[in-house]
Amino acid sequence: NLDESINQFDELFSDSVAIRTDQDEPYGAYLSGGIDSSVTTAYIKKLHPGLNLDTFSINFTNPDFDESAYQNIAVDYYKTNHSKVICSDADIANSFKEVVWHAESTLLRSSPAPMLMLSRLA
């Protein structure tokens, strides 16, 4: 039944987030603006309402890939301490050699390049 499935998801996801956030070390959340990262941010704030949560996003200069409007909705709603990197096509091309070096393997797509840029914020 749907209600049982919703309750089970809520319990399992709450437990999963709690295990990863009940610690003394600082942590933050990647916020893409999609459902998964927005729900993760929501659960962190639900479990730790007084937390000044750091969130991190990638914005793209290419409007076909940019989801900053959705990121901003989540940032404003959850009142997070937000940082972002702005990534252009040239940034991806210029960092690709370094990305391959860090990956130590062949890459099938370019998404690790912006993630490398984002990791430097944390």
For the chain, which residues score pLDDT lower than 70?
A: none
Cα radius of gyration rounded to whole Å, the chain = 17
Q: Report which of 82, 98, 79, 91 is spatially closest to residue 32, judged by C-alpha positions.
A: 82
Reported pTM: 0.85
Residue 80 structure tokens: 């997070």
What local confidence, expressed as pLDDT, does residue 52 receive?
Answer: 92
What local confidence, expressed as pLDDT, does residue 25 receive?
Answer: 82
What is the torsional sign of CA 97, 100, 106, 110?
A: negative
Q: Which domains does the chain have, with CATH numbers?
A: 2-119 (3.40.50.620)
Give the residues across from 28 on adjacent strands. 54
Question: Number of helices (H) and strands (E), helices first, in the chain?
Answer: 5, 3
Report the alpha-carbon distance of residue 12 to residue 57 in Å, rounded.
Answer: 26
pLDDT digits (tens, 9 = 90+) for 15-40: 999 999 988 888 899 999 999 999 99
Strands of the 28-30 sheet, one edge to the other: 28-30, 54-60, 81-87
What local confidence, expressed as pLDDT, does residue 105 receive?
Answer: 84
